[in-house]
Amino acid sequence: MSESLPAAPKPGIRRAVVTGAAGFIGSHLARALLQSGTTVIGVDRRDPNDPAAAPNLAALHGFASYMHIGADLLTCAIDPLLFDADVVFHLAGVPGVQPSWGPQFSEYVSSNILATQRVMDAVTRMRVPQLVVASSSSVYGRTSGGPSVESDHPHPSSPYAVTKLAEEHLCLAYAARADSPTNVVALRYFTVYGPRQRPDMFIHRALRSAMTGQPLRLYGDGHQRRDFTYIDDVVRATIAAAAAPEATGVVNVGGGANASLIDVINTANSLVGRDIQVHVDTARNGDVLTTRADSRRARAALGWQPTVDLPNGMRAQMQALAQPGHRAAA
């Protein structure tokens, strides 16, 4: 029997731009890229000393191949940031359903749509070969409860979701131009959680309540279900998307745990060993009953499947929250 040839090493990413690098997902992504030897240019408009940014950026300290640019993508010169980049991971954006109903909507439009158009213009001009953009499961809106497939007709049910769908379409429209050198992959993230999760998100709020004894406000009856997706799984899918072939298009990144908000509360109770005091409030506009990802395309196009279940993922998040000095544990 002839000896098989060793597998050719996969070419890594030499140089990447991560927008939203001072955010929850962007900082984890940037760190993973740096750990694998990629040079990373991180861009974010937040003041690095802002309490929402500092712990995220602290995860990037000590990497000589990290360069941070404090800039707003709505106004800054983007071309120089893209020089020689193999890929742009465009994660900068304004997230969250509830504030998007009010006067803050203009911020959603500015960052998620107008800034994205400037990024796509620059990426096309600078001939960046690949762009991965963070979209959202929220674009599906109200579903029958079954898994959402990428080809399903989207019914965004909040202003936030409308901007994410527009963002996705905008990036794909640029990629479809005859003169476009850029392949675009839009990842529809499903409720991402793990260490440094945004404080407005449910798992963060539930763990904080369990750990501090402060009551937890629950909107609706708690039977809303989500595909909770652990941050390390999301980062793996995002890096895999940098090598996804042309015409991959839109891909769901969700799974690991389909659970209700009540399941989250019970898991937090048992991890911390104390029952959360729950204050029930009315359901909020735009909060859908169920999100669930059909992951077949992610498996086929990215070779990806989720690996972390809810108790293990929430345990890791709880341990991070318990670290001395964690801003949100107080």
Pairing, β 87-90 against β 130-136 = parallel
Site pattern 123..162 for ligand NAD (x: CB under 6 A) = -----------x-x--------------------------
Considering the complex, state which of residue 63 and residue 274 has its C-beta at the smaller distance from ligand NAD: 63
In terms of Cβ atoms closer than 10 Å to its own Cβ (0-12, 13-18, 19+), residue 123 is buried
How many residues bind to ligand NAD according to rule CB under 6 A?
A: 27
Considering the complex, state which of residue 194 and residue 272 has its C-beta at the smaller distance from ligand NAD: 194
Q: Is 160 an annotated catalytic residue?
A: yes
Question: Rounded to the nearest 5°, which phi and psi values hold at 166?
Answer: -60, -40
Considering the complex, state which of residue 114 and residue 274 has its C-beta at the smaller distance from ligand NAD: 114
**325: alpha, beta or left, given left = phi > 0 and alpha = psi -120 to 50?**
left
Residue nearest to ligand NAD (CB): 23
Amino acid (1-letter code) at residue 233: D
Cβ at position 27, least distance to ligand NAD in Å: 8
C-alpha 314/C-alpha 311 separation (Å) is 5
> E strands, the chain, where?
15-19, 39-44, 66-70, 87-90, 130-136, 183-189, 192-193, 216-219, 225-230, 249-253, 257-260, 278-281
- Whether 138 and 160 have beta carbons less than 8 Å apart is answered as yes
Q: Scan residues 35-94 and list those touching ligand NAD (CB under 6 A).
A: 43-46, 72-74, 91-94
Q: Scan residues 226-285 and list those touching ligand NAD (CB under 6 A).
A: none
25 binds ligand NAD (CB under 6 A): yes
Catalytic residue among 66, 108, 160, 189: 160
314 binds ligand NAD (CB under 6 A): no
Closest by CA to 238, choosing from 192, 173, 194, is: 192
Place of tokens 């595909």: 227
Cβ at position 179, least distance to ligand NAD in Å: 26
Per the structure block, which two tokens stand in for 259?
Answer: 């659970």
Q: Scan residues 172-191 and list those touching ligand NAD (CB under 6 A).
A: 189, 191
Considering the complex, state which of residue 12 and residue 31 has its C-beta at the smaller distance from ligand NAD: 31
Per the structure block, which two tokens stand in for 103?
Answer: 């006067």
Among 17, 26, 227, 238, binds ligand NAD (CB under 6 A): 26
Half-sphere exposure of 197 (CA within 13 A, CB side): 30
Considering the complex, state which of residue 23 and residue 159 has its C-beta at the smaller distance from ligand NAD: 23
Cβ at position 220, least distance to ligand NAD in Å: 18
Catalytic residues: 160
Interacting residue ranges for ligand NAD, rule: CB under 6 A: 20, 22-26, 43-46, 72-74, 91-95, 111, 115, 134, 136, 164, 189, 191-192, 198
